Amino acid sequence: MLFVFCLFIAFGLSSQEVSKSNMPVYVDRMMADSHYTLDPLTCGMSLENWKKTGRDALLEAAGNFPPETPLEYKITATERREGYAVHKIEYNVSSWTNVTSYLLVPEGNGPFPGMLMLHDHGAHFSIGKEKMVRPFGVSEEIIEDADKWVVTCYDSVYLADSYAKAGFVVLVADALLWGDRQAEGGTKYETQQAVNGALLQLGYSLGGLMLHDDMRALDLLTDLPMVDKSRIGCLGFSMGAYRAWMLGAASDKVKAVAAVCWMSTCHALFSNGRKSKGGSDYSMLIPGLGKIMDYPHVAAMICPRPLLLYNGEKDKLFPREGVLKAYNIVSEVYKRAGAPEYLKTELWDEKHFFNKHQQEAVLGFFRTHFNL
């Protein structure tokens, strides 16, 4: 026993392996020893070879996807608004299930630019698509919920409606566990862990299925006859921002991406306790990806397509140092590709919030790159 105790002292080890912050006590050593095998700045690959290898690795890490099936959708309800129509549609997100979504279509003759909008997390599961579209044909409770949420996160603006007014066809769907896809009796914080645990045992993951579902929604938007396939954008805030650059990395069907309030290096997120809470991370985890690429590496795979990344100086979820380091990594990739003008990064004097000035700048970004 004395010999073992001396070994612990000699090598600086402890019999206690989990800290009070719910982290392995050796997490710093793990991060120090980690080397991203597909770091675009050090792996020695050409840009095109790296992008292809990186996408293959991303999709493999995401795990199994549901069996493929032809896309079909139907309109179940419509509300006419000033300059556009809002349709409720139902489509088969997989061979296992259908989802109800909102499709907003401007008046007039297309083709129109398309916009896939991806909602946030917020540990608020009772609504999903309603966070971005002014809902109709729902209960007063959902309407009140949505109205409060857009004040809290979007400066009182329903983003999808604003883009439909600007001439975009907009598609917004619920992610798994939100809105019409929430758990029976309502999703709770710990539900994320329970669902992901079950999925992992079956060879899937919550983060992987969310990526699949976003790719499925993108396929639907791209195939709509009134949509210009050469002008498909993707926009998200918070978890929606993560989903936006993840989707842009996974599919070239996205022609421009704007992500607000979700970008950092992975290691920086351990410094503010974000990784010690568990639950919400499950929707934004791709198992095994952390041994291959960091978050900015994934976002950089969008290069040379237009990419906008905004964060807030006062955002407590994303440490400034980690944000700036991530920006520098993505910027270097765009420079090496000879496309620095297609990347827009900015730290705003703002908290975790998508204000109207940012919204105007993001819309201007899409208008510029889509020649509107």
**How far is CA 298 from each of CA 75, 119, 188, 209, 289, rounded to the nearest angstrom?**
35, 20, 29, 17, 10
Q: In the prediction, which pLDDT does 31 show?
A: 67
Q: What is the DSSP string of 261-301?
A: S----HHHHTTTTGGGS-GGGGGG--TTGGGT--HHHHHHT
The CATH number given to 34-369 is 3.40.50.1820
Q: In the prediction, which pLDDT does 11 show?
A: 44
Q: Which helix (H) or strand (E) holds 81?
A: strand 73-81
Residue ranges, CATH 3.40.50.1820, the chain: 34-369
Lookup: tokens for 314: 């006062």
Does the N-terminal peptide bond of residue 40 adopt cis geometry, omega within 30 degrees of 0?
no
248 neighbors 257 (Cβ within 8 angstroms): yes
Phi (first) and psi of residue 347, to 5 degrees: -100, 120
Q: What is the pLDDT along the chain (372 residues), one digit of tens a residue?
A: 444 444 444 444 455 776 666 676 766 776 666 789 999 999 999 999 999 999 999 999 998 899 888 999 999 999 999 999 999 999 999 999 999 999 999 999 989 999 999 999 999 999 999 999 999 999 999 999 999 999 999 999 999 999 999 999 999 999 999 999 998 888 888 888 899 989 999 999 999 999 999 999 999 999 999 999 999 999 999 999 999 999 999 999 999 999 999 999 998 987 755 554 556 778 888 888 988 999 999 999 999 999 999 999 999 999 999 999 999 999 999 999 999 999 999 999 999 999 999 999 999 999 999 999
311 neighbors 295 (Cβ within 8 angstroms): no
Instruction: State how beta strands 343-348 and 169-173 pair.
Output: unpaired
Q: In what order do the strands lie in the sheet with 73-81?
A: 73-81, 84-92, 98-106, 169-173, 112-118, 227-237, 256-260, 307-312, 343-348
Burial call 324-340: b when 16+ CB within 10 Å, e when fewer: bbbbebbbebbeebebe
Rounded Cα distance, 36 and 266, in Å: 11
pTM: 0.92
* Rg, the chain, Cα only: 21
Is 93 in a helix, a strand, or coil? coil
**Would you call 2 exposed, middle or buried from its count of C-beta atoms within 10 A (0-12, 13-18, 19+)?**
exposed
Lookup: tokens for 47: 């840009």
Rounded Cα distance, 32 and 22, in Å: 19
Is 19 in a helix, a strand, or coil? coil
Q: Helices 206-223 & 239-250, crossing angle to 10 degrees?
A: 70
Nearby residues of 300 by Cβ (< 8 Å), 6 or more positions away:
40, 329, 330, 333, 334
Rounded Cα distance, 117 and 237, in Å: 9
